[in-house]
Amino acid sequence: MIVGGPSAAEIEHLHTNLGRAYELAGEWEEARASYESMLAHGREALEPRLQWAALSRLAVLAVQRSLDVEAGEGLLTEALGAARESGDRSVLAETEWNLAQVATLGWEPEKALARGEGALFLARQLGDEELAARSLYVLASAQAFRGSWGECVALAGEAGAMYGRMNGRAMGAGALAMQFLWAGSPPSDALYVRAMEANCLCLIALGQSNLGGIRAGTAAGRLALAIGREIQNDWVVVFASLNLSHNLLDAGEYEEALRLTQNGVESARNLPNPMTLFYMLWALGNAWQALFGLEEARAAYRESLEVAGAVPIASHGIIMLSGLCANRSLAGDWAGAHAHALEAVKVRAGTPSVLVWRDLWRHHEVEALLWGGDEGLARREVTRFGERLEGNRRFRVPYLRAKALLSHRDGETGRAVEYLLEAEALAEELGLPGEAWQVAAEAGELLEVRDEPGEATGAFRRAAAALRVLAGRVGDEGRRACFLSAPRARRVLDAVPGGGDAA
């Protein structure tokens, strides 16, 4: 207890606001010093509430600044003890929530779900609408890390609706609300609420892109981006750009996705958390890869892997390794593709996710594994992939492509064609023109092997038609020429009478 000086509440108010001011200015060491001073005051005065506030802010700073999840969890475990000692249920609820958000970044979804449920239960008991919305959001995020995309979208939608009803008003958000990891440090409660509304939309955009709901995902992503720009929050703008780009690429809007991710990378370079740059470089690589700018894509992926040295959780690297496998496969570098496939399989095996987000290149991994003589591993991977689909239609497209590869390997070309035609129909239904034309082309090649020239020509015609539509959306002449001159594109166009004139 503090006697003859400022009260514990006054000390907390002073150091919290001073620390946040330093954060807004990007002066991270000064912010840390302010929180450490608050912690020293709390320990000297035996004030658990003051200790809790300082420890919690130091924890979030450690994770937001350098992605030091281990340090963050250690500080929060100590904060949890202080929260219990304080006897304040709102403080306990905030700590449960904070532990949940750190667990998601540590790729521990089950732990995050347990903590998030605890925070939600306490928030509802306390009648704290903002904390309840924030808890729903962190549960949605945990479901994203788990790979349960329907649950992710539902929870994010519920949280977003709650933030929307707050309408940007200050809601007396808890002491840690301003330090939500993907909201930055908004200077007011009202801006924080808007940032969280946008982040909910970002999760919806991500979830829909993993379910095949491209239109809904695009709409959510565009709205999130508009809010981020309106409130001038670079964290939100980057998060929205990342998740909108997935849907744009699926919809065949390659040039818009490229511009968006290029801008997103530049913004991410100015943010302290390395994970933002890691994912934006991955998204930039995806955009270049869709345009068959393979060297540009490879450069983005490789820079992202360099950044990954500051991202200590290996699971985040799965999508990058799989993307590099696809990149080398498309370039005809089968030794490189095989090496990346082996790495991706190893990392994925240790990840507690049903379906890792945007992990949609696994058919390239299977092809590379077969090339490298790892047929048994390839078959086990396809079996494991199928067991985890759980009715997911978006992931079923690459799964069917992988099944076709195995059937072709077994000499069952008829069955392989059936898998590919099913994949093509599903891609068309979901609005995935980039997948549809490539699957149709693969079917055409197998139909030629089966000496069915009429059916093969029909498949190549479908592929060429979709290819021309996609090329027509690319305004830059150089990029369009690169896209149409890629070996896979030329193979299709050359198989169709007059197709060679498409460029």
What domains lie within the chain, and their CATH numbers?
Answer: 1-87 (no CATH), 90-251 (1.25.40.10), 411-503 (no CATH)
For position 41, what pLDDT does the model report? 82
For position 176, what pLDDT does the model report? 47
| List of residues 6+ apart from 149 with CB closer than 8 A | 143, 207, 210, 211, 355, 392
- Read off the pTM: 0.91
For position 455, what pLDDT does the model report? 97
| List of residues 6+ apart from 308 with CB closer than 8 A | 278, 316, 317, 320
% of the chain residues with pLDDT over 70: 93
| List of residues 6+ apart from 288 with CB closer than 8 A | 258, 294, 296, 297, 300
Q: Summarize pLDDT for 65-108 with one digit per residue, the tens.
A: 767 788 888 999 998 888 899 889 999 999 999 999 999 988 99
Q: Summarize pLDDT for 164-217 with one digit per residue, the tens.
A: 999 756 555 444 443 555 566 666 788 889 999 999 999 999 999 999 999 999
For position 40, what pLDDT does the model report? 85
In which band, very low, low, confident or very high, does the pLDDT at 2 lie, cut at 50, 70 and 90?
A: very low
Residue 448 tokens read as: 């030629």
For position 64, what pLDDT does the model report? 74
Q: Summarize pLDDT for 324-336 with one digit per residue, the tens.
A: 999 999 999 999 9
**Angstrom distance (rounded) from CA 348 to CA 391:** 20
In which band, very low, low, confident or very high, does the pLDDT at 309 lie, cut at 50, 70 and 90?
A: confident
> Across the chain, what does the average pLDDT equal?
91
